[in-house]
Structure 1
Amino acid sequence: MLQRLLRAGMLSGLIVALLSFGFARAFSEPTVERAIVLEERSAADHSHAEEETIGRATQRNLGLLTGIASYSVALGGILAIGLGCLHGRLGLGPRSTVWTLASLAYVSLVLVPQLKYPANPPGIGSAETIGSRTELYILLILLSLVSMALSFWIGVRIRRSHGGMFSVPVAALAFASMAMILVSALPDTSEVPSDFPESHLFTFRAQSAILQLIVWGSLGAIFGQLAKRILDPRVSRISANAEIPNA
């Protein structure tokens, strides 16, 4: 059963990658191109322009598709494993469980880290600080994930002892409190130049947020439907009967 879920999750990720690539290629890449032009102008003014090791044609086509596909397929596999571990333990159907996992993962892995360290287009940030900025971003992702797991455990415990009425609000409040502490405690790393166009920065960050919503929302919808066909006995029985030819 887990193998079927893994295949379905990875297939869902591949389908999502195609959808996400279409959005990124049509909307995000032109924004990236404009940011690169600004970066090249700034580099020319300071006489330290760097030569690209990989051409832009490869980056915005094969490179972009490969990156999105790897990301989406991996997420689909992770959701499949999570569903295999939690199916039947939350009192939810397969599709609702997938949506719950996808929503919680999006909040902890994407939303909270982006609130503290939002996505930046090319040309923002010093090369000397990229290592420290990456470490802080990964640290926040890990701590946010741990906070979500702890809040989820609190919610499950409250549901078992006091029913489901208070479990979700208490768990949500616990995670919100821990997330606020994390966001406040970690240092800022903003290195946006004063002359960088604010409208361009806003557009890039908005498109990055929309792309993440497409990935996670599509995964929840597609994999949730496939998981229901695999795990729901009624759907599986109907599908099996449909495959049996009439005698």
Structure 2
Amino acid sequence: MIQRLLLAGMLSGLVVALFAFAYARVYAEPTIERAIALEQGGYRDHAGVEEGPVSRSTQRNTGLVTGLAAYCTALGGFLAIGLAFLHGRLSVRPRSAVWTLALAGYVSLVLVPQLKYPASPPGVGNAETIGSRTELYFIMILASAICMAVSFWISYRTARRMRPAGSIAIGIAAFVTLALALMASMPAISESPHDFPRDLLLEFRAHAALLQLIVWGGLGLLFGQAAEYVAQRDRGMERVASHGMPNA
């Protein structure tokens, strides 16, 4: 079953990557172009400007679709592995398990880190501190994932002594508490230039957040349905095997 789930998860990721690319290409990329224009000295068309080993044309087309495909395929594979681990351990349908995993992944790996360290377009932030800022962001992701794992463990342990709704509420409360403590303990970063347009900064961050919602939400919906089909097909095959092949 794990092989079929893995294949379904990765194929779902590829499909979601196409939708994510369409959104990013139409809505997110123009804000990046405007930010680059500001960084280089004013609003102007940079369609013909190519700097560095990879041109902007390649970055916003081939590079963008390749990166999203790799990202979404990997996420689909991780969701499939997580579902295979939970299969038989939780009394929920595969679709619900996928939705739960996708929601937990989005909240812990995307939402909480971006609330503390929001995405920034080109031209925002000191180039000399990019290494430390990247390190802090990945530490935030790892710590947030640990908080989510601890919250799941607490919810699982309390489920033995109370109703599911109560254990879920306790798990959510535990994660919120741990996440707030984590965000308060991590150092703040504020390097936005005073002359950088605030509307452009907010627009870029809104598109970055919506792009992640498309990826995680799309995977939850698409792979959730695919996982349900795989599980039903396996149950049907098990029933046929247990009763023997019908006579012709």
AA partner of residue 174 (structure 1): A
- 1:145-160 alignment to 2 at 5 Å? 145-160=145-160
1:62 is aligned to: 62
Q: List per-residue Cα deviations over 1:7-39 (Å, max 9, x = no partner).
A: 100000000000100000010011110000001
- Aligned residues of 1:10 and 1:76 also touching (Cα < 8 A): yes
Cα shift at 1:233: 5.3
Q: Given the alignment of the two structures, is residue 188 of structure 1 paired with residue 188 of structure 2, yes or no? A: yes
Q: Given the alignment of the two structures, is residue 82 of structure 1 paired with residue 79 of structure 2, yes or no? A: no
1:45 is aligned to: none
2:108 is aligned to: 108
In structure 2, runs of 5+ residues without a counterpart are 43-49, 241-247
AA partner of residue 63 (structure 1): G
In structure 1, runs of 5+ residues without a counterpart are 43-49, 241-246
1:14 is aligned to: 14
Q: Give me the whole-angstrom Cα distance separating, in 2, the residues matched to 1:233 and 1:51.
A: 52
Q: Give me the whole-angstrom Cα distance separating, in 2, the residues matched to 1:235 and 1:208.
A: 40
Q: Give me the whole-angstrom Cα distance separating, in 2, the residues matched to 1:171 and 1:76.
A: 25
1:232 is aligned to: 232
AA partner of residue 120 (structure 1): S
AA partner of residue 55 (structure 1): S
Q: TM-score, normalised by structure 2?
A: 0.90
- Aligned residues of 1:229 and 1:236 also touching (Cα < 8 A): no
Cα shift at 1:232: 2.5
SS, match of residue 6 in structure 1: helix
Q: Give me the whole-angstrom Cα distance separating, in 2, the residues matched to 1:217 and 1:94.
A: 16
| Divergent runs of 4+, >6 A | none
AA partner of residue 116 (structure 1): K
- Aligned residues of 1:230 and 1:236 also touching (Cα < 8 A): no
Q: TM-score, normalised by structure 1?
A: 0.90
2:45 is aligned to: none
Q: Give me the whole-angstrom Cα distance separating, in 1, the residues matched to 2:165 and 2:227.
A: 27
AA partner of residue 226 (structure 2): L
AA partner of residue 211 (structure 1): L
SS, match of residue 160 in structure 2: helix
2:244 is aligned to: none
For the aligned residues, what is the CA RMSD?
1.7
Identity %: 57
2:243 is aligned to: none
